[in-house]
Structure 1
Amino acid sequence: MEKEKKLTFAPQLQELRRSRGLTRAQLTNSIGEKQETVSGWERGKEAPGVVTIVKLSDALQVSINYLSNNCFIQI
């Protein structure tokens, strides 16, 4: 049985942001974070906390379940 491939959080976040037509600056402004922080998430250097995941789901117009079920997030 072949394992289902899941995106890690970093490329998933970047793909969602771009598919929504948002620049990194627009996303950071909407969730109240610094661009450097979001850049770190998109490069896989770190992951957001639970409260920020809620903000991201709102800003990217996806459910929290979508973010947590469709990618690996290490908290």
Structure 2
Amino acid sequence: MDKEIIFLVEEAPEGGYTARALGHSIFTEGEALDEIRSNVRDAVRCHFGDKDMPRVIRLHIVKDEVIAV
């Protein structure tokens, strides 16, 4: 059992956010970060069920920013 699972959260080109687990086949999306948090919890519950559930879900939120020169 993993003690934690890490999700990479990025802004989607079409708007909203995507989240994918590192080391597991779990992917979800949402319009806002609050929705991503909820969807990630649901996706982890569905993927693991009651056994082998990670104790911690960590979100690594990546934000691209463009600066004009």
TM-score (norm 1): 0.30
If each structure's helix is expressed as a fraction of its own residues, which one has the higher value?
1
If each structure's strand is expressed as a fraction of its own residues, which one has the higher value?
2
Over alpha carbons, which structure has the higher Rg? Answer: 2
TM-score (norm 2): 0.32
